[in-house]
Amino acid sequence: MYSSKIATSADLSVIPNSTQAPPVGLQPFQDQPIRMRLPSDSSQLKGSKLPSLTSTPPLSDCRVSVIIPVRNEADSLPAVIKALAHQVDGQGRALDPNSYEVLVLANNCTDSTVETVERLGDRYPRLQLQVIEVSIPRKIAHVGKARQMVMDEAYRRFSLIGLKDRIIASTDGDTEVAANWISSLIEAFDKGIDALGGRIITRRADTPGISKDISLYYLRRLAHAYFVAQIECCLDPQAHDCWPRHFQYCGANMAVSAEMYGKVGGMPLVRHEEDVALYRRLQRADAKIRHSLDVRVLTSARQIGRATGGLSELLETLSHVSQARQQVLVELPEITEARIIVRRHLRQVRSAIKEEQFFNVKQYARTADLLAKSLGLPTDQLRQAIENAPTFGELIATLCAYQAEQTQPIIEATTEISIANMHLRQRLRQVRQSCITLTPQTHWVSPHILLKALQQVQTIPLIVPTYQ
């Protein structure tokens, strides 16, 4: 056990009527890195240039560095560390404690968090546990900075012993990982993925104050996200992220290979939703991201959280929405499906060009013209983006930026979430019954019939809307 102290500069009958509060609308995803380019070779993360927060190197057998940024979590940490100290492999046998380490970064704590971790280190002497006490200037003492610091430290430590096959895994100070969490992570990464978002289950027994109405609103959101994910797996399948899968990539249960973390330049520095910012950066690099149901954690469902933008803030928002009997609006299912189809054909067109596959030039011109019209962009601008983008993720980011610059704003065609879920469920059944489920190996198919059949009367936004 080592310690470091660092000082650094719902019920369907609950449908509102016209006399009730106005509906909750959609807002475009506010992701500041959308215009951010991938790091060049000179700006990729270099472990030797990062500040050292710990004095001892990791063990040579260490595969996984678990990072936990905390602030005043003395009460919850015993359960968190206990779960990490009792990890097992796929056969239920005790996992080699030398195969992973735990780095707890105590961010401006005013309780006994540091002392608690030190006592836990004495309780579990075989666990490679370190606590890093930091005093961050108040202006930047947010979870985004704290998680960035400790993830960078995990990367720096791995750079001392070699980055290959090393994994940086993140969880939170109010979250208990499953007994096989570490071994499931290793198994998933050994299949060739670059990053992973695990399943997050809320500990409802700890929050009796959550009403049925809040649960209803929350479950509707989950259902909508799962329906979209399933349709995505049918219409734009990815071999590394096939069904069954989920849709989450959150700091309480996420992981990234050390090599990929360095390649994308590490975690962006944002005040909150730093996990989402990292996810977007990984997407732009075409990282193979798996949304695994096998890597699970149990987290707090408290409504008063320690950081903005997290689950607690969502539950607080849903509390107000349910009390006001507000509708929750999502985009029309037709628009959701259209975006998935457009993304698939953009992926195929770019792949054909980059890999110098044989394709009909006239067909490419007609396809580009149709896609450009669907996206509300000039054809020449779309073709230039397709031909110049270094990755598919960069292509999507570039086209999103182009759409944002259009003088004619994109119309937000929305519907109430329970209605959208009903239509998505029906559409998913149709897709399955028609046996048109596609595979990543399917040859390039012209999107003319599919896109024209949708009869879109508006621009298809590539930016995925999010809830207000």
Determine, yes or no, domain membership for 1: no
Alpha carbon separation from 382 to 241, 341, 377, 458 (Å, rounded): 27, 16, 7, 17
Residue type, 451: L
Q: What is the pLDDT of residue 193?
A: 98
286 and 403 share one domain: no
For residue 331, the tally of other CB atoms under 10 A from its CB is 19
- Which ranges of 237-308 does DSSP label H, i.e. alpha helix? 258-263, 274-284
Please check whether residues 394 and 264 belong to one and the same domain. no
Strand order in the sheet with 195-203: 2-7, 129-135, 100-107, 64-70, 167-170, 254-257, 195-203, 289-300, 175-177
pLDDT digits (tens, 9 = 90+) for 306-362: 555 555 566 666 666 666 667 888 899 988 988 998 999 899 899 888 876 656 777
pLDDT digits 0-9 by tens, 8-36: 432 222 222 333 333 333 333 233 333 44
13 found inside a domain: no
More confident residue, 322 or 292: 292
Residues 183 and 206 in one domain: yes
How many distinct structural domains can be found in the chain? 2
Closest CA to 40 of 394, 396, 400: 394
Sequence-distant (≥ 6) Cβ neighbours of residue 359 within 8 angstroms? 352, 444
Question: Are residues 180 and 304 located together in one domain of the fold?
Answer: yes
CATH number at residue 104: 3.90.550.10
CA distance 285 to 249: 16
Please give the pLDDT value at position 32: 34
According to the model, what pLDDT value does residue 407 have? 73
User: Span 115-119, mean pLDDT?
Assistant: 97
Per the model's pLDDT, the better-predicted residue between 367 and 121 turns out to be 121
158 has a pLDDT exceeding 50: yes
My answer on whether 305 and 362 are in the same domain is no
pLDDT tens column, 197-253: 999 998 765 554 556 667 777 788 889 999 999 999 988 999 999 999 999 899 999
Q: At what angle do helices 379-388 and 333-354 cross, to 10 degrees?
A: 60
Q: Give yes or no: residues 337 and 452 share one domain.
A: yes
The answer to the question of residue 62 being in a domain is yes
Residue 376 sits in which domain range?
A: 330-467
Split at pLDDT 50, 70, 90, the class of 184 is very high
* 2: in domain: no
Q: Would residue 297 count as lying in a domain? A: yes
Q: Nearest CA to 134 among 71, 65, 46?
A: 71
% of the chain residues with pLDDT over 90: 58
Picking from 326, 351, 376, the residue at the C-terminal end of a domain is 326
The pLDDT value given to residue 361: 76
**70 and 191 share one domain:** yes
Q: Are residues 245 and 336 in the same domain?
A: no
143 vs 113: CA distance, rounded Å: 16
Residues 406 and 301 in one domain: no
- Please state the length of the chain: 468
DSSP 49: G
Of the candidate ranges 95-104, 134-143, 202-211, the one whose mean pLDDT is the lowest: 202-211
Judge if 337 and 308 occupy the same domain.
no
Is the per-residue pLDDT at 68 higher than 80?
yes
3-state SS, residue 300? strand
> Per-residue pLDDT for 189 more than 90?
yes
* Res 122: pLDDT: 97
Percentage of the residues of the chain whose pLDDT score is greater than 70: 76
Looking at 278, 304, 326, which one is the last position of a domain?
Answer: 326
Taking only the tens place, the pLDDT of each residue in 390-433 is 999 999 999 999 999 987 777 778 899 889 999 999 989 888 77
Q: Of 300, 326, 352, which residue constitutes the final position of a domain?
A: 326
Would 17 be classed as within a structural domain? no
The yes-or-no verdict on residue 453 having pLDDT over 90 is no
> How far is it, in rounded angstroms, from Cα 439 to Cα 234?
8
Average of per-residue pLDDT across 423-448 = 64
Q: Is residue 306 part of a domain?
A: yes
pLDDT in the model for residue 279: 97
Distance (Å, rounded) from C-alpha 318 to C-alpha 322? 6
In a domain, 144, yes or no: yes
Compute the distance between CA of residue 223 and CA of residue 171 in angstroms, rounded to an integer. 24
The arithmetic mean of pLDDT across residues 132-137, rounded, is: 94
Under a CB-based contact definition with an 8 Å cutoff, are residues 403 and 339 in contact?
no
The conformation of residue 18, written as its DSSP 8-state character, comes to T
Q: Among residues 166, 179, 146, which one has the least CA distance to residue 67? A: 146
Q: Does residue 54 share a domain with residue 166?
A: yes
Asked whether 148 and 48 are in contact (CB, 8 A), the reply is: no
Q: What is the pLDDT of residue 424?
A: 94
**Whole-number mean pLDDT of the chain?**
83
pLDDT value of residue 317: 64
* More confident call, 268 vs 324: 268
Q: Are residues 339 and 357 in the same domain?
A: yes
